[in-house]
Amino acid sequence: MSRDIVRRFGRRVRQLRDARNMSQTVFAEKIGTDQSTISLIENGKQEPRLRSIDQMAGALKVSLSELFTDL
């Protein structure tokens, strides 16, 4: 992924997570990682793996296509 799309993806994850009033810690627990990893992803500093992206969609109760909407 280019850096720009990594940043946009992170913003999208944060937007969806915030809309569900879910903390980074709770979100991290749902996908089997830690809060610092979620922070890195949301700030565009870490590129998530495909498996993690699928887990994020599940935890946020959205389809993969919805997770990538407006990127």
The pLDDT tens digits for 29-66 are 999 999 999 999 999 999 999 999 999 999 999 999 99
Q: What is the pTM of this model?
A: 0.91
Contact 5, 71 (CB under 8 A): yes
Half-sphere exposure of 68 (CA within 13 A, CB side): 8
Q: What are the pLDDT digits (tens) for 15-35? A: 999 999 999 999 999 999 999
Residue 61, helix vs strand vs coil: coil
Contacts of 59 (CB under 8 A, 6+ apart): 27, 30, 31
Rounded-to-integer distance, Cα 51 and Cα 66, Å: 16
Rounded-to-integer distance, Cα 23 and Cα 63, Å: 20
pLDDT of residue 14 exceeding 70, the answer is yes
